[in-house]
Amino acid sequence: MKETEAEKAGEPPPSLQPVIFTIGRDSGGNWVAQEKGGARGGLFVDRAVALKFVKFETANHPHAVVWVNGVHELNTSAMLVKPSEEPIPENLQRKRRAA
């Protein structure tokens, strides 16, 4: 059986590593909470609500938050859902009607 890089380094596989969120304020004064990978996050009106969101998303993991001192803008490009590369089955495709 072949070892992965994480196993060789003694780290748990990514699926077992805790999710890390960053929390800080954007240039408009809103609170931003975003997963390190960028897939989840949002804008919040206050710090407590941002922290509550992160606690919910991480099952209250004690080391899930990294506080950002500077400006922390929400990166929405990482949140975009990429279209499936699999073709849509013909029976599920909408049929075009001629007008």
Q: How far apart are CA 60 and CA 13, in angstroms?
A: 20
Give the pLDDT confidence of 31-65 residue by residue, as tens digits: 999 999 888 999 999 999 999 999 999 999 989 99
Q: What is the pLDDT of residue 22?
A: 96
Alpha carbons 86 and 83: distance in angstroms, whole number: 9
Is residue 41 within 8 A of residue 32, CB to CB? The reply is yes
Under the banding of pLDDT at 50, 70 and 90, the label for residue 80 is low
